[in-house]
Structure 1
Amino acid sequence: MSTDVSARFRDAMAGVCSPVVVVTSRDGDRPHGTTVSAFMSLSMTPPMIAVALDEGSDLLAVVRAHRRFAINILSALQGDLALTFARKGAAKFEGVAWADEAGVPVIEDVAGWVTCEVADLIRGGDHTVVFGTVTDVDTAARAPLTYHARTFGTHLPHPPSGEKR
């Protein structure tokens, strides 16, 4: 693909609103995590999700080995947490409250979390799509963090017909 098409594709995808989650797993006692916006629910029967992880990421190697992971759905007030987990390095969990759920780290005070077992891994370009079978879920009544036009925000409901904002 030409550089021009890649740049235009990146710009086009910036126009798509996506959820912001932190995917977590563990390597022995050490928690690992990274911020992701390529995430979706996949199936209701059985409950499954899909998340894309960079082929070169440390987290993908941990998920491949551990075969369990969690999706931490960030709230609209957790943009700083998203930035913390987006950076490289081993210190991402410093100062972050988390608990163990089914052998994976779950971040406290998020909008919700989903624990999963790996069902399949399929490579797609420079990422691997991890298909997870849901093992447990918890939610809180918090607005979600979204990513659009290279900025964090949240969802606003559409006004009924005839109303203006």
Structure 2
Amino acid sequence: MHPQPRADDLQPAFREVMAGVATPVSVITAVSADGVPHGTTVSAFASLSMDPPMVLVSLDRGSDLLALVRVTGRFGVNVLGATQSALALSFARKGPDKFADVDWADDHGLPRLPGVPGWLACDVDSLVTGGDHVVVLGLVTAAATVDGAPLTYHSRVFGTHAALEVIS
């Protein structure tokens, strides 16, 4: 049996490993009962199931967006494109009014950002606590795509995917 390292000793190494994992960048959105849109940037988003269509997203336990998602039971996933790093940064900051200078449209009762290559409307299936975050499992109720390269986050910088040449 291996001794468990202290969390504060392990966190720097864990952070470095995770920085080396390329992740998609998405803005998770919801709308309050009074019609005010809310959103936050995440890189912890993934497909979970095809039957039924489900995704998972990880939100900080203290997040205002998580509190809203708990109340409304719905959220939108805006999968950002390679030219949308400014949106990612805007929605990554703390505080209200992230939509102040951002165009958006109502899509299935949720805020959808313009030009995103991927869009999902979801109903909350369940919430799973994991450390300082909550994993929100969502049943997909609507999906749409447009052409565009994805925005990714790797080694603490934004980038995009490029196909490798296949050598036979």
- The reply to whether TM is greater than 0.5 is yes
Q: Does 1:91 align with 2:97?
A: yes
SS at match of 1:94: coil
CA contact 1:22–1:73 (8 Å) conserved in 2: yes
In structure 2, C-alpha distance between the alignment counterparts of 1:43 and 1:24, rounded to whole Å:
21
- The match for 1:121 is 127
In structure 1, C-alpha distance between the alignment counterparts of 2:161 and 2:115, rounded to whole Å:
19
In structure 2, C-alpha distance between the alignment counterparts of 1:142 and 1:156, rounded to whole Å:
12
RMSD: 0.9
- The match for 2:7 is 2
Q: Which amino acid aligns with 2:97?
A: A
**Which whole-Å deviations, capped at 9, do the CAs of 1:127-151 have from their partners, x for residues lacking one?**
0000000000110110000000000
Structure 2 regions of 5+ residues with no counterpart? 1-5
CA contact 1:17–1:146 (8 Å) conserved in 2: yes
In structure 2, C-alpha distance between the alignment counterparts of 1:127 and 1:2, rounded to whole Å:
16
Deviation at 1:69, TM superposition (A): 0.5
Deviation at 1:4, TM superposition (A): 2.2
- The match for 1:26 is 31
In structure 2, C-alpha distance between the alignment counterparts of 1:109 and 1:91, rounded to whole Å:
21
SS at match of 1:12: helix
In structure 2, C-alpha distance between the alignment counterparts of 1:16 and 1:104, rounded to whole Å:
29
In structure 2, C-alpha distance between the alignment counterparts of 1:51 and 1:67, rounded to whole Å:
14
CA contact 1:68–1:103 (8 Å) conserved in 2: no
After superposition, residues 67-82 of structure 1 pair within 5 angstroms as 67-82=73-88
- 1:156 equivalent among 143, 159, 162: 162
TM-score norm. by structure 1 comes to 0.96
**Which whole-Å deviations, capped at 9, do the CAs of 1:21-71 have from their partners, x for residues lacking one?**
000001121111000000000000000000000000000000000101000
Structure 1 regions of 5+ residues with no counterpart? none
Q: Which amino acid aligns with 1:122?
A: V
Displaced runs of 4 or more, over 2 A: none
In structure 2, C-alpha distance between the alignment counterparts of 1:2 and 1:45, rounded to whole Å:
37
- 2:42 equivalent among 36, 43, 64: 36
SS at match of 1:35: strand
Deviation at 1:89, TM superposition (A): 1.2
- 1:59 equivalent among 50, 59, 65: 65
In structure 2, C-alpha distance between the alignment counterparts of 1:76 and 1:93, rounded to whole Å:
20
In structure 2, C-alpha distance between the alignment counterparts of 1:135 and 1:2, rounded to whole Å:
38
After superposition, residues 121-140 of structure 1 pair within 5 angstroms as 121-140=127-146
Deviation at 1:126, TM superposition (A): 0.3
- The match for 1:14 is 19
In structure 2, C-alpha distance between the alignment counterparts of 1:65 and 1:88, rounded to whole Å:
20
- The match for 2:3 is none
Q: Which amino acid aligns with 1:135?
A: T
Q: Which amino acid aligns with 1:150?
A: R
